[in-house]
Structure 1
Amino acid sequence: MTILDKYILKRYLVTFSVMLLLFIPIGIMANLAEQVGRMIDNEAPLNEIVYYYACFTVYIGSLLFPIFLFLSIIFFTSKLAGNTEIVAILSSGVSYGRFLRPYLIGATIIATIMFFMGMFLVPRASEGYNAFRYEYLKKGKADRVTSNIFNQLNENDYLYVSSFDPARQIGYNFTLEHFNGDQLEYKISAANIRWVEKDSTYRLTSYHKRTLENNQEIVETKRRLDTIFNFKIDDLTPVSYIAETKNIFELNDFIDAQRKKGASNINTYVLVKYKRWALPISAFILTVIAVAVSSVKRRGGMGINLAFGIGIAFIYIFFDKVFGTLAEQSGFPPLWAVVIPNLFFGILGVYLLKNAKR
């Protein structure tokens, strides 16, 4: 690694780190000022508040990594261009591709950190962050679908409840149908189903079971029945952020299980998976765009470069949100929802880089 590589790489990593250290505490203070009233009203314990902000730092930081990276590169590269350092480097016989190399090394380091954070660390932070939000900041608001819940547990069993109360762990108007191929073998219904944690059993009220056997119908009824099923009470309706709380291996298993159940919102979970893989790639795309935009000395100086860069960053976020919403709500393929924004901005980066070389 030459002096040039070390010089640019040091500026790359230091500026990015300083931007994180500057803006994340500001984000924490802004969030605390907004939410402190709710924390006091809902009597949030101090240790849980501290843990929430530790999770908040990791969770929000990971979301803003690409934007901080983009703006930090524009900031220090514009300073290099303003001091005519880039002109001196290129005039000495260094090619533009060679000048770009330390930026790509820096992008590789940041992308590696983003990869391991996104796959393993951020899911743990997301669990703590969202659990606190719904417990103390959004108290009373549902963190999952709670009405007209239909689930295919496996190839043979289908479950339905008209409504579910996650706080009390009780479902109303419960129905379980068991099939053998296309033939219904038995159907269980109850006014409600409740999870009794002390006994690790399910309690059915107004239990009714209808069994079809040898062209005969056998009916069994009980006022109350404690029994065991091969599903968890939370399987009725997972929390809306469940995919965010699982590491990559757990997420793969979860998606496979949801596919077998015929979950209607499977695209939401698959989208989370693909976004984790795409996040490190965005580090390279945004690095190339930022260098291409800011390596040219302009009359307006750093201000013009930052304004242009912020505009591109917001367009990037807009594209990501639009295609993500399409994948979640309209059946648009999640893979394309992730690929299209990155492909578009990758092509834009190549175009800007060619113009910058001229």
Structure 2
Amino acid sequence: MLTILDKYILKRYLSTFTVMILLFIPIGITIDVSEKVNKMIENHVPFAAIAEYYLDFTIYFANLLFPIFLFLSIIWFTSKLANNTEIIAILSSGISFTRFLRPYIIGATIVSIFALLMGFFLVPKASEGFNNFRYTYLIGNGQNQIRDNSDVYRQINKEEYIYVSNYNSDSKMAFNFSMERFEKDKLKYKVTAERITWNPKKRNYSLFNYTKRKVGPLGDYIETGSVKDTVFKFDLEDLTPVVYIAETLNYTKLTHFIDKERQRGSSNINVYLVVFYKKFSIPISAFILTIIAVAVSAMKRRGGMGMNLAIGILLAFAFVFLDKVFGVLAEKSSAPPIIAVWIPNLVFGTLAIFLLRNAKR
């Protein structure tokens, strides 16, 4: 049962967080427009596409920066409570600091559930629109950069592997093609070609300057030729997904996509796992940042609200910095993604416990 105190703090918690987002999003849009307006005019971008882009932009960046918005909003209104001696009055009435935290934890629960649902369903759609617009209109040669087309190596099923050195999505052509089939770790079949092209009318592939080798018990059978039409059970375009594909998939599709890419031996599997684990780590950070913000700002300081905000901004950007650093580390190294993604929460969770114990004193 919520008391008058719980309702009062919870209302301030949610309203200040909402106002903080509504204040900063227009600023972000203004800065983005000033940076990209020339590019949009050069490419004759339709107004409807621009309007849709900034709707996606709002959702995308609100989700990306919500820990900072939440942290600063809590410090702001809790510092006002402290400066007005409201917190002293509350604690002097016999309410413990832990009990005082209850409406904050309820607010963090509401925000984290909302962030979790957004990350599962709404943000992927916004991310797709946001990135499609960037690669279509804003990035030079964007359509050729949209896919990871170099040194593509995939396991397409339990027994077959393919490799291409480069894939051109416009011409549906790949170069230095190789396909191998293994049975019980022994090579049974291999096809190589200088290039392979998809024929949409015939629904098959053409191999150019190819070599086909079958490994037999008494000797190998080798076939060579300049051109050969054949059928394969894979789609080259599926094997070269767009670079931001994981961000555009909802929870169910993302789990299936990761399973499929793991079976194919995708070199980008860590990138996809980082996106997956962040869907859970970011909402949990709402609890950690809430506790830190209350512990930092509940005390009345000589510098007033300005000192609390300065400490808050420093800690907020330290959190974002750690999150980015360990995210890149997980994507580019052999570090386990789940550990790298959760390290910022573990570091700041430890800090939250330390600050909370001091605040209680």
Q: TM-score range by the shorter chain?
A: over 0.9
**1:145-224 → structure 2 map (5 Å cutoff):** 145-221=148-224, 223-224=226-227
Q: Is the partner of 1:160 in helix, strand or coil?
A: strand
Alignment-derived partner of residue 58 in structure 1? 59
Alignment-derived partner of residue 244 in structure 2? 241
Change (3 A) 1:156 1:357: same
2:336 to 333, 338, 342: 333
Alignment-derived partner of residue 298 in structure 1? 301
Q: TM-score, normalised by structure 2?
A: 0.93
1:41 equivalent to 2:42? Answer: yes
Q: TM-score, normalised by structure 1?
A: 0.94
Deviation at 1:331, TM superposition (A): 0.7
Contact 2:10-2:107 at 8 Å conserved across structures: yes
Contact 2:68-2:317 at 8 Å conserved across structures: no
Taking the aligned partners of 2:201 and 2:34, their CA distance within structure 1 comes to: 40
Q: Is the partner of 1:231 in helix, strand or coil?
A: coil
Alignment-derived partner of residue 77 in structure 1? 78
The aligned amino acid for 2:347 is F
Cα RMSD for the two superposed structures: 1.8
Deviation at 1:231, TM superposition (A): 1.8
Taking the aligned partners of 1:137 and 1:269, their CA distance within structure 2 comes to: 24
Alignment-derived partner of residue 317 in structure 1? 320
Alignment-derived partner of residue 275 in structure 2? 272
Deviation at 1:85, TM superposition (A): 1.0
The aligned amino acid for 2:360 is K
Deviation at 1:51, TM superposition (A): 1.8
Deviation at 1:232, TM superposition (A): 2.0
Taking the aligned partners of 2:136 and 2:231, their CA distance within structure 1 comes to: 29
Deviation at 1:221, TM superposition (A): 4.7
Taking the aligned partners of 1:4 and 1:247, their CA distance within structure 2 comes to: 38
The aligned amino acid for 2:57 is F
Q: Is the partner of 2:271 in helix, strand or coil?
A: helix
Deviation at 1:114, TM superposition (A): 0.3
Identity of aligned residues (%): 57
The aligned amino acid for 2:110 is I
Deviation at 1:214, TM superposition (A): 4.8
Alignment-derived partner of residue 112 in structure 2? 111
Taking the aligned partners of 1:155 and 1:103, their CA distance within structure 2 comes to: 50
Taking the aligned partners of 1:198 and 1:108, their CA distance within structure 2 comes to: 54
Between stretches 175-184 and 271-280, larger displacement belongs to 175-184
Contact 2:10-2:103 at 8 Å conserved across structures: yes
Alignment-derived partner of residue 128 in structure 1? 129
Taking the aligned partners of 2:211 and 2:178, their CA distance within structure 1 comes to: 10
Residue segments in structure 1 that go unaligned for 5+ positions in a row: none
Residue segments in structure 2 that go unaligned for 5+ positions in a row: none
Output one character per residue of 1:123-151: Cα deviation in whole Å (capped at 9) or x when no partner: 11111111111111113141333322222
Change (3 A) 1:198 1:66: farther
Alignment-derived partner of residue 6 in structure 2? 5
Alignment-derived partner of residue 356 in structure 2? 353
Change (3 A) 1:223 1:49: farther
Alignment-derived partner of residue 138 in structure 1? 139
Change (3 A) 1:278 1:26: same
Taking the aligned partners of 1:44 and 1:204, their CA distance within structure 2 comes to: 39
Deviation at 1:226, TM superposition (A): 4.0
